[in-house]
Structure 1
């Protein structure tokens, strides 16, 4: 067929690029003999001397420990030792605090950053459910086996009003309540005045007691449960002398501002400026298996048959005759339908992206980062199986703020890809995880059908967390290339006009990078498939310059990212030359018109890092994770091209904005305040690591440097630099009032915990 032949001609010239990809293995992985020799050498080495121990402790940053000079190299003299400490930030001496003895109670000494990608704390219970859905959680002995890990059993306590107000009263005026569908069986409170006097804590007094949600939108979805309710209620005296408690609504004319009764107290659809809210009926249909997956099932059946035929072909290749192989090849059939042509994307130096962040990649934080200059954002990683089962928790992750629905800000002179329509572009994309092609295919199907505002769907192929990895998802896909290719093809076929992208790591093992092989599969497809089916349809790839095994123990390998970027460039050059010929492939097989974008990720902490990576590594853009968690105005620095020495007042202003955005997203009632406090504490566990530019002896700052104990230029700056979680709680109380008696906070290590006193 014409389409197939066109694709074949388009993919054939890439044999040399595949060879370039294989050459990367020899550049970054030692030969087997050298590896065994290195192990023997390590075994035969004698114990290090005291001088060697000293050198290892005080080595110069960036210098390999094995490169320490020996006595022979210094004419028999002891080696000179650099007194600078490794990974210690160069704070000016006048700000350093000399401490002796044990650290204060509540101090967190951990520098582990795995929580930036780990699935922890608030969704631990759901993780257990996901493990069960993927084959875990067996009955009997295995079921009782406790899971290890520092974040196991993290709890934030139980927070609720003393009297729980029935939803039939929550949004109604005192004399016009809605009928309670449970009648006399309802165990909730129905006496509004008793609830306000005895059933809840007193109003929060920050912002002069004014509800930030009501001030922003003219209405408060939390109704009577709001902890600022006095600012949007009044007592109306009727002609008969009765006094009625009424809610105000700024949308109504003055004097007629009593809010109308609502069916539910916190209906997501009521929250203004929030998009991608999936109707509850859709989630119910998914949960009860009433959703029509006819088209997805048809393609999945073809994928399974394709995989089975491919296995037969590989098994028969050694001993079978050419006639037998031809018979097997004849079993291959074309897919039941072609993918739709995708909406074009653009990634460039002016579009820094906020990485998908577990826990802290929530809507309020993304909203703050967009306000500070982030041009692209991603949802937290949503689990594929719970999504197609209709679980609310995963669908909630796909909500986006109206600022994320706007097109990214780009330069008019930018090298825009052919047919790119900036007016149709968005900033927000969804990241999903799956361990089977059929799950990934159905996830793309439901996202295309039910989530209208998505820039792209990103498949997570790099999550290092054990639960994800052992179930065959995340970074496990880096060693299952055939499965990964089928997942991308299936997602591309069912995602409509939404492009498909992938985020990967260098590999699973430190000494065995496989990213170049994965990139080849994502860009070209396997050799057995590319001639018949064309490319899988991946529009962009993001490479985190670390392996799964490495986590965050070493710096990201940007030299390896640069090598992979060169491979991508060769692919794009071949595609560009191909489009000038008459044998142009079918557009549906070429994501983004044949231009594959490539982003780097890892250790970007300044505008200098950002622009250096783009210039030296050759990536199209950089995805920023921990750097944005520590200082979200990093996007502003990139835009302005300079360091910004943010004062403590400015930084506190960002915290205040986050709190307001959190109350807007999660509600201003007791539960919403708890959510906001919880996520603010998680964020403060990163922000305290920021060292103001004016306190550093030299620039640029390093993301992996940890500060010594130091004092700031004022008391507030000193407080915000504290690594004591008790100080973090004090900061939350500035905006959210005293902690609820039932609230608990457990930092990343369970040995540090806080319980509010009743």
Structure 2
């Protein structure tokens, strides 16, 4: 008989939740026995199992990549209806949250039109109250009135609204009242000094500490074809000889035909040349805004430009472009100048190596992580010691189309003092226009171009790891992007595409000349995905062959401070190590590296980290029902990684290696045992401790299989 969790929330102190367990750890590390299955941990009540003389030694287990858990913590593996099937885990998750009948697991596949119709009907339901009405509690506050697509019946909403969650509203610590008002799942805590509900709204900028929110006017320009201009990117493409054959420039025909306004402070005249401004400091960027008659439409992002087979030589060794009122002219190499041109009629393009550089040396770099590397997770890692953070990978084509969901991946929290974004594109024109767009509308310290993503849908479009097989296009992407912006551009690659055919060593000497500030090398091929250990010897080889102007970062299997120290001592030329899955499994790895110790973290301390994540998640995604369930979804995605952590106190050999397969074991208390479970049903139970009961019919299956290895591609 399963024992189910009641609704608890992260604001309840750990001592209150966990004070009554008869375990050996202090109260903050214990769990309420009423919330946990009493059969999980017989270690405290029973004697250790008898020793088996045939049981392999710890060294033998390590040789087989099996975690050497101490004998008296081992237990028989749980019975599974389907071996490793995600659907069976989803069945368990559904069965774990109700007593009577099983919820439907398989959902009917519906067309997009049907889904859209149901979504509109759902918006009109009583539970989907208008956000403006929810904030103020007054129907008259909605500017759309009867034309609003949401419900305005406050009383009907209150009658059907789910019960409030335990704890305090996450927005009470910010300036002003909760922006979700009546819709907040903690609305009962919205009280002012007089004990009355506080429904006054505030300016979002005063409450929010997030940056890089796409402005509506920019989004509308991206929606409309041929409206957004990319002068720097298009000038860089033309100077590098990457303009497609037969493409002709189309001028926008409107009342401003005689003048094109660029995205920068400088203007562009009717001939497409930079006009002088009164500020000579702006003249440095003017040369990149040159537009000539033979250039394609700047805003045409649907027809991507393909570079010719033989590109023109780079102008790195030549000169800057000087522009005056009569036209544009490229000076001879011997007339190039290095300082700022004092004449306002002339513009100077900065050499890529003269850009502001970022020193990654000795910094703890949290890798860009798809799905799980969201803003709340990065906040948790910043608290635990991360120095550099990077947003999730965003597709260039989606950014250029103004998709709000893709632009949300570029959000930055104020605590991220050294922050970059990662983009992925297949062609130089797409990537160059994207980096210019990001520079103009976001606050970032660097832009990373992904050239190592192994996902099929990305590779099939010519992006990600596919670029490793096309070094000429790879060069064009980096050169055009670095010339289109003044902030540093970095790239992330794998060792090669096919296993046994590494090729970055042959390109490493040239990558710095292309304009990249740093390159991160993931020590696996695309074909390996995440299987097998990373090839750090090859990373060292590339780092030693790289020019001094190019920083080389290593990535792969860093899971303890000993791994970090080993890589840094074995190759001093390596700038730093990027930490990816190690941070997903145990985000306190940053604390371990900085304090140079193995942290035998307790289950209560791990629960506190999850509480912080939930609090950050509610502040980011919202404290209404939708925000709560979004936070739960991403929490469950993260728990699918954290279950792989094995506490230090349970191991015969330390530290844990990232490729070890954990056996079934008991923890030192019931909560630690629950956190080690690989069942989605147990992950759901942990989420219920923090976010209340799941909705009826809720199911979950993890999105990623990080150890995926496509055998068909190996031939």
1:599 touches 1:620 (CA, 8 Å); kept in 2? yes
SS of match in other structure, 1:284: helix
Per-residue CA distance 1:647-671 (angstroms, 9 max, x = gap): 0000000001100000000000011
Q: 1:662 to 1:447 in 2, by over 3 A?
A: same
Say yes or no: does 1:214 pair with 2:172. Answer: yes
In the aligned structure 2, how far is the partner of 1:344 from the partner of 1:687? 35
Describe the shift of the 1:256–1:303 C-alpha distance in structure 2 as closer, same or farther (beyond 3 A): farther
For 2:691, the equivalent position in structure 1 comes to 736
Q: Which residue of 171, 179, 194 corresponds with 2:156? A: 194
- Which of 592, 596, 609 is matched with 1:654 structurally? 609
1:220-277: per-residue Cα shift (whole Å, max 9, x none)? 22221111111105xxxxxxxxxxxxxx5xxxx7689843357xxxx97565211122
Q: CA, structure 1 residues 159+678, in 2 after alignment: closer, same or farther (shift >3 Å)?
A: farther
How do 1:524-563 residues align onto structure 2 when only pairs under 5 Å count?
535-563=513-541
Pick one of 224, 230, 234 that aligns with 1:293.
230
Matched residue of 1:660: which SS?
Answer: helix
Name the structure 2 match of 1:517.
506
The residue number in structure 2 matching 1:506 is: 495
Q: Which residue number corresponds to residue 454 of structure 1?
A: 444
Q: Among 236, 248, 272, which residue is 2:208 paired with? A: 272
TM-score scaled by length of structure 1:
0.65
TM-fit CA distance, 1:456:
0.5
Q: Is the 8 A contact 2:648 2:655 kept in 1?
A: no
2:429 corresponds in structure 1 to: 438
Q: Any idea what the Cα deviations from partners look like across 1:455-474, whole Å, max 9, x if unmatched?
A: 10001010011111111110
Counterpart among 137, 141, 145 of residue 178 in structure 1: 141
- Counterparts of 2:704 and 2:518, CA distance in 1: 36
Given the superposition, is the C-alpha separation of residues 615 and 312 from structure 1 closer, same or farther in structure 2, using an over 3 Å criterion? closer
Out of 260, 281, 284, the position equivalent to 2:200 is: 260
In the TM superposition, what is the alpha-carbon distance from 1:625 to its structure 2 partner?
0.4
Q: Are positions 1:606 and 2:560 aligned together?
A: yes
* Equivalent residue in structure 1 for 2:407, among 378, 390, 395: 395
- Cα 1:179–1:668 shift into 2, 3 Å: closer
1:202 aligned counterpart, secondary structure:
coil
1:362 equivalenced with 2:374 (yes/no): yes
Cα gap change, 1:216/1:514 in structure 2, threshold over 3 Å: closer, same or farther? same
Residue pairs, 1:631-670, within 5 angstroms: 631-670=586-625
Pair 380,634 (structure 1): closer, same or farther in 2 beyond 3 Å: same
**Counterpart residue number, 1:565:** 543
Aligned residues: 524
1:475 aligns with 465
1:302 is aligned to 239
Q: Which runs of 5+ in 2 are unaligned?
A: 1-54, 88-110, 112-120, 246-306, 313-329, 337-346, 706-715
What per-residue deviation string (whole Å, max 9, x for no partner) do you get for residues 60-104 of structure 1?
Answer: 999xxxxxxxxxxxxxxxxxxx5766111010001000348x436
1:482-516 deviation line (CA, Å, top 9, x unaligned): 111111111111112x1010101000011110111
Secondary structure of 1:189's counterpart equals coil
Match of 2:391 among 364, 379, 388: 379
Alignment CA distance shift 1:712-1:386 (3 Å): same
The CA deviation string for residues 198-217 of structure 1, in whole angstroms up to 9 with x for no partner, is 2x211112x2xx11222344
- Look up the SS of the partner of 2:440 in the other structure: helix
CA distance in 1, matches of 2:594, 2:451: 30
Match of residue 487 from structure 1: 477
Picking from 679, 686, 693, the partner of 2:648 is: 693
Instruction: Decide whether the 8 Å contact of 2:177 with 2:201 is kept in 1.
Output: no
**Offset at residue 746 of structure 1 (A):** 2.2
Contact 1:61/1:87 (8 A) holds in 2: no
Displacement of 1:342: 1.8
Partner of 1:378, secondary structure, is strand
Higher helix fraction (1 or 2): 1
Confirm or deny that 1:676 pairs with 2:651: no
Partner Cα separation in structure 2 for residue 258 and residue 83 of structure 1: 60
Q: Distance in 2 between matches of 1:461 and 1:172?
A: 48
Return the alpha-carbon distance in structure 1 between the equivalents of residues 348 and 697 of structure 2: 56
Q: 2:570 aligns with which of 616, 634, 637?
A: 616
Structure 2 CA distance, aligned partners of 1:401 and 1:180? 30
1:204 to 162, 165, 174: 165
Partners of 1:440 and 1:749 in 2: CA distance? 26
Q: Is the 8 A contact 1:559 1:617 kept in 2?
A: no
Specify the SS of the correspondent of 2:491: strand
8 Å contact from structure 2 (residues 240, 311) kept in 1: no
Trace 1:397-416 onto structure 2 (pairs within 5 A).
397-404=409-416, 406=417
Structure 1 residues 651 and 107: CA distance shift in structure 2, 3 A: farther
Cα-to-partner distance string for 1:536-587 (whole Å, 9 max, x where unaligned): 211111000000001122100000011111112xx21xxxxxxxxxxxxxxx
Aligned-pair distance for 1:480?
Answer: 1.2
Change (3 A) 1:563 1:84: closer
> Shift in Å at residue 389 of structure 1?
1.5
**Match of 1:344?**
357
Contact 1:691 1:707 in 2 (8 A): yes
Contact 2:585 2:641 survives alignment (8 Å): yes
**Any unmatched runs of 5+ in structure 1?**
1-57, 63-81, 111-143, 145-157, 234-247, 315-330, 407-426, 524-534, 573-594, 751-758
2:176/2:207 contact within 8 Å kept: no
State the SS of the aligned residue for 1:381.
Answer: strand
SS in 2 for 1:699: coil
1:232 aligned to which of 170, 190, 198: 190
- From the superposition, tell whether residues 596 and 313 of structure 1 become closer, same or farther in structure 2 (CA, over 3 Å): closer
Secondary structure of the corresponding residue to residue 598 of structure 1: strand
Match of 2:676 in 1: 721
TM-score (norm 2): 0.68
The 1:271/1:105 distance shift into structure 2, 3 A limit, reads farther
Instruction: Provide Cα deviations, 1:155-200, integer angstroms capped at 9, x if missing partner.
Output: xxx99875210233121134x73144151x44532122221122x2
